A and B are shown apart, each in its own frame.
Chain A
Amino acid sequence: MSVFSTKAEKVFILAFFFIALGVPLFFNENTFYVNKISTMLILSIFVMSLDYLVGKTGLISLGHAMFYGLGGYLFAIMVPEYEEVNFWIYTFYVMAASSVIALIVGLIVLRTSGIYMIMITLALAQMTFYFFADSTEYGGLDGLFIYLKPETSIFGLNFLDLDNETHFYYLCLLSLFNCYVFFKITLQSRFGRVIDAVKENPERATALGYNIFHFRLVAYVLSSSLAAYAGYLFSLQYGFVNPTMMSWEVSASALVMAILGGLGTVFGAILGVFVYESLHYGIEHMTQYWMFWMGSLIIVMVLTLKSGIAGLVEKLVTGKRK
């Protein structure tokens, strides 16, 4: 069985990663665009992790940015100041710590569902936001700075320099690719079978002997820890973390991007991010009323595209073949 669920997904993923590999060569002089696209790749990981939760597991969170922010903060707090640490080791630390936090938070929020879960995830994220915004120890609204980027040697081999924009870009691209493959594999696994069942009909899944709480918890931890990984990459790219990363606007716009891309399609997250961010960037340069135009455009797109941009790609690909 292939990783791809549909032909459209295969076409898109192959084309996307093929083009993405060439991006730094194309923009070779202009690191501005390479950086911009790196950020979109990071955001794609974040939105994909949200789609895993909302579109695949059927749990709606309006506080997912909490883990995005925590990813950055966990690193900034754990890392000794003015010391160059190892990227891979700290990646492990950040993921492990965020998984533990996600497990504890999951035990609380997954007792609820539907509108109540939306409220409690939002409330917890806002609490965390204000905790960091008000704390003098963690820099308040200014957040924390990351003075030295980690080095990336494994077994004495050092082929990646995080200060180099192109290198960092490829790290983000590889991360997104791994994240996509990981999510797809887990969704096609035996675990994924139960996740599908729990999403479609939790009552029936329970009657068949599944403790749905445990399955939701595992999905929640997987999703949250990858959101944290995305936040960690983001903080490495810009050299700081601040509470804005976990504001409710970040959670909400991630949800918009996931819906725009096509909820429950996984690869749609990439589409959602790139279309949303390109529009944002484009319209912002044309008019100061960009929020109004952007909002209108998104409403139109969500209304006309039933299953998001992924659905549109689906139509284009299958249409051509007929």
Chain B
Amino acid sequence: MSECVLQAENLSKHWGGLKALHEFNIKFYDKSLHSIVGPNGAGKSTLLNILCGTYPATKGVILYKGNNVTGLKSYQFCRKGIGRSFQKTNIFKASTCLENCCIAAQQRVGGSFNLFKSRQSSQFIKQIASDALAQVGLSGRADTVASAISYGEQRQLEIAMVLATDPQVLLLDEPMAGMGHEESLTIIELLKQLKQRYCIVLVEHDMDAVFELSDLMTVMVDGQHLITDVVDNIRANPLVQEAYLGNDDEVF
């Protein structure tokens, strides 16, 4: 395996009495795709949100390339190279697709406090943005307003925006949710390419996609880590089957 880029140690998030995440330990490796599955409410989104600083952890440590990044502000995570996409589509609906990616690219290029330099002046920003669009297959939509493209395309745009920030780690929260079959295939192809260059953490309910893409898989239930292993072992594991099937019985 390649080197570990992102690591969580005893990570916990408690919402009042609810342990959305409890004493979670996990390691993510470079140039690989690690998927996280589990029933609804298992705490998958919570884990991603904490890994990119959206809210602070109740307890525990996040290590990024060996450095402790636990206390950083949420905007600093992105600058370090931890980019994320949202479970619920979260884009700039009033802007064109290209502009959406330009906003992302400008953060990395800089000069955002320049009051006088026209936002259109940088070919470099535009180039990064259109490259990102091209990667997800949205080049044809560059000048279309984001609210006017299909739901599936908005999910693609969501990923393009993350790519434009030049991340090292991609935290993707159900990128294929609500997509049509064709669009899912595009994303699967895209992720296959991306995982050769990035460390990807994928939360996804589409099991076919997960089994096809994952190098490693983690199953979590009720905020707790159940098992992490390669796909074939997970498939055969009786514990996993029980976790999925037996979940309803646990609600007293």
Contact = CB atoms under 8 A, between A and B. Distances in A.
Partners in one complex: yes
Interface of A: 1, 185-186, 188-194, 196-197, 200-201, 203-212, 214-215, 218, 222
A193 B84 CA distance: 21
A91 B90 CA distance: 44
Interface residues of B, number: 37
Interface of B: 52, 54, 73-79, 84, 86, 90-95, 99, 102-104, 106-108, 111-120, 122, 161, 165
B111 A190 contact: yes
B161 A186 contact: no
Contacts of B86: 204, 207
A206 B74 contact: yes
Contacts of A218: 113
A interface: dominant SS: helix
Given A200-B92, A201-B91, A190 B84 contact: no
A211 B76 CA distance: 8
B90 A191 contact: no
A1 B91 CA distance: 25
24 contacts: A1-B118, A1-B120, A185-B115, A188-B118, A188-B120, A189-B115, A189-B117, A190-B112, A190-B113, A190-B118, A200-B95, A204-B86, A204-B91, A206-B75, A207-B54, A207-B78, A208-B165, A209-B76, A209-B77, A209-B78, A209-B108, A210-B112, A212-B75, A214-B113
Given A201-B91, A207-B54, A209-B79, 16 more contacts: A1-B118, A188-B120, A189-B116, A189-B119, A190-B119, A194-B103, A197-B95, A200-B94, A200-B95, A201-B92, A207-B74, A207-B78, A208-B165, A209-B76, A209-B78, A209-B108
Contacts of A215: 112-113
B115 A191 contact: yes
A185 B116 contact: yes
B interface: dominant SS: loop
A209 B104 CA distance: 8
B119 A193 contact: yes
Q: Which of A190, A194, A197, A211 has the most CB of B within 10 A?
A: A190
Contacts of B104: 208
Contact of B113 (A191, A207, A212): A191
A214 B115 CA distance: 13
A193 B95 CA distance: 10
B115 A203 contact: no
A55 B113 CA distance: 20
A189 B111 CA distance: 10
Contact of B84 (A1, A207, A214): A207
B90 A203 contact: yes
B92 A204 contact: yes
Q: Which of A189, A191, A192 has the most CB of B within 10 A?
A: A189
A189 B118 contact: yes
B105 to A, nearest CB: 9
Nearest to B84: A207
Contacts of A194: 103, 106, 112
Nearest to A193: B119
A38 B93 CA distance: 40
Nearest to A212: B75
B90 A201 contact: yes
B107 A210 contact: yes
B112 A191 contact: yes
